[in-house]
Amino acid sequence: MAEAKTEERIPTVTEERIPTVIVDDVHIVYRVHGAGGAKGGAVAALRRIVTRQGNPNVRKVHAVRGVTFTAYKGEAIGLIGSNGSGKSTLLRAVAGLLPAESGKVYTQGQPSLLGVNAALMNDLTGERNVILGGLAMGMSQEEIRDRYEDIVDFSGINEKGDFISLPMRTYSSGMGARLRFSIAAAKNHEVLMIDEALATGDRKFQKRSEERIRELRKEAGTVFLVSHNNKSIRDTCDRVIWLESGTIRMDGPTEEVVGAYEEFTGQK
């Protein structure tokens, strides 16, 4: 799917290696309310409070267990691993969005996660969502005004009539995904993190979005990419970290790690 050529890769070894992200023995624990709940209604709950037992409805999920690595300027790092191995959680921690239970994450500037889904509202028109999403990402009003046409054109929403002035809930899922990606990709970032955003929309839009990601990569210092698509990892990344149940299983050059991962999952 990706057309990335090898010559577009940023060289791995530069004169001086400047770290942009340092992750030092990070643990992340989620507290999930309303898990379990197998036993009892109100009476059981009251008894637990009286007897000072821990609430079994709150379950701790230890999603990332002691991850350490350093990312350097110019690197594109792929994160792979099976579902629930902690990839997305780790990205959020690096972005500083999810506080770590222990350990530290040091970053150069403010890493940003590519994605604005949560800020958008389905009841609003596409037009207002572009503005809202841009503001949520920290763009100024002038920046948004300048980029507005580009964002709408890029999304291709208006190719089949004036859809941008309709509420987003009337969009097809593909159209919604395209607009979300277009908004998210409108801003340049120092440390950019992409969470499986490559495969949205139709074939034509996929090509366009891959191109845009390569542009963003060139401008960004360091790129992280979470994906289950080994081909897009091979095309875009020069280093891969393989996570399995919250720990790093392997960290190294793309071919080596992806090869081992494919062997592990039996994809070959």
Partner 1 sequence: MSLHLDESPAARLAPDQGLSAQELAAKYGLAVSGARPHLREYVRQLWARRHFVTAYSRAKVHAQYTQAKLGQLWQVMTPLLNAGVYYLIFGLLLGTSRGVDDYIPFLVTGVFIFTFTQSSVLAGVKAISGNLGLIRALHFPRASMPVSTTLMQLQQLLMSMTVLITIVIMWGEVPRLSWLLAIPALLLQSIFNAGMAMAMARLGSKITDLAQLMPFILRTWMYTSGVMYSLSAKLGNAPHIVKLLLEINPAAVYIDLMRFALIDSFTSAQLPSHVWVMAAGWALLAGVGGFIYFWKAEEEYGRG
Binding footprint of partner 1 on the chain (CB under 8 A): 12-13, 16-22, 24-25, 30-33, 68-70, 72, 75, 92-99, 104-108, 110-113, 115-119, 121-124, 128, 131-132, 135-138, 140-141, 167, 239, 244, 247-253
Q: How far is the CB of 248 from partner 1 (least distance, A)?
A: 6
Q: How far is the CB of 47 from partner 1 (least distance, A)?
A: 17
Those residues whose C-beta lies under 8 Å from the C-beta of residue 204, and which sit 6 or more positions away, are 156
**SS3 at position 237:** coil
Q: How far is the CB of 21 from partner 1 (least distance, A)?
A: 8
Query: Regarding beta strands 102-107 and 19-32, do their DSSP bridges make them parallel or antiparallel, or are they unpaired?
Result: antiparallel
Quote the CA–CA distance of 154 and 119 in Å, as a whole number: 20
Taking the least distance from each CB to partner 1, the nearer of 102 and 202 is 102
Taking the least distance from each CB to partner 1, the nearer of 89 and 227 is 89
Quote the CA–CA distance of 74 and 236 in Å, as a whole number: 12
Q: How far is the CB of 104 from partner 1 (least distance, A)?
A: 6
Taking the least distance from each CB to partner 1, the nearer of 121 and 199 is 121
Taking the least distance from each CB to partner 1, the nearer of 90 and 213 is 90
Q: How far is the CB of 14 from partner 1 (least distance, A)?
A: 10
Those residues whose C-beta lies under 8 Å from the C-beta of residue 133, and which sit 6 or more positions away, are 116, 119, 120, 180, 183, 184
**SS3 at position 245:** coil
Q: How far is the CB of 207 from partner 1 (least distance, A)?
A: 26
Quick one: which H or E segment has residue 187? none
DSSP state of 97: S
Taking the least distance from each CB to partner 1, the nearer of 89 and 155 is 89
Taking the least distance from each CB to partner 1, the nearer of 139 and 175 is 139
Instruction: Determine contact, residues 175/125, Cβ cutoff 8 Å.
Output: no
Q: How far is the CB of 118 from partner 1 (least distance, A)?
A: 4
Instruction: Convert 129-160 to b/e letters by CB count within 10 Å (16 or more is b).
Output: bbbbbbeebebeeeebeebbeebbebbbbeee
Taking the least distance from each CB to partner 1, the nearer of 14 and 211 is 14
Beta-strand ranges (E) seen in 210-268 are 222-226, 239-244, 247-253
Of 164, 220, 214, nearest to 190 (Cα)? 220
